[in-house]
Amino acid sequence: MLLVGLVFGRWWRVTIPVGTLVWVVLLVATGTGSGLPFVLGGAAFGAANVIIGVLAYQVIAWLAHAIVLALRPASRS
């Protein structure tokens, strides 16, 4: 889920809920567990993983933007 957040971090408003849902469905479909406490715990864990991936993407994008701006020659007016 970290990789999902890292790859699709630009669209974080969609990535976080979809990643959370996919993680829960994957856990339940593979028979890892069942029941409401398991689903809620899995959702929290999946959301946390996706959020960390999205945050990593956002930091990398911000640093890349800052580096490009720093290396760009000053405009002459």
DSSP state of 1: -
Q: Tell which phi-psi region holds residue 62, choosing left (phi > 0), alpha (psi between -120 and 50) or beta.
A: alpha
Residue 76 included in any domain: no
Calpha distance 33→55 (Å, rounded): 29
The tens digit of pLDDT for each residue in 59-69 reads 999 999 999 99
How many domains does the structure of the chain reveal?
1
- For 51-73, b where at least 16 C-beta lie within 10 A, e where not — what string? bebbeebeeeeeeeeeeeeeeee
pLDDT of residue 73: 82
Tens-of-pLDDT digits for all 77 residues of the chain? 889 998 999 999 999 999 999 999 999 999 888 889 999 999 999 999 999 999 999 999 999 999 999 998 876 65
pLDDT of residue 32: 87
Residue 28 included in any domain: yes
Indicate the burial class of 38 (C-beta count within 10 angstroms; 0-12, 13-18, 19 or more).
middle
Residue 34 structural domain: 2-71
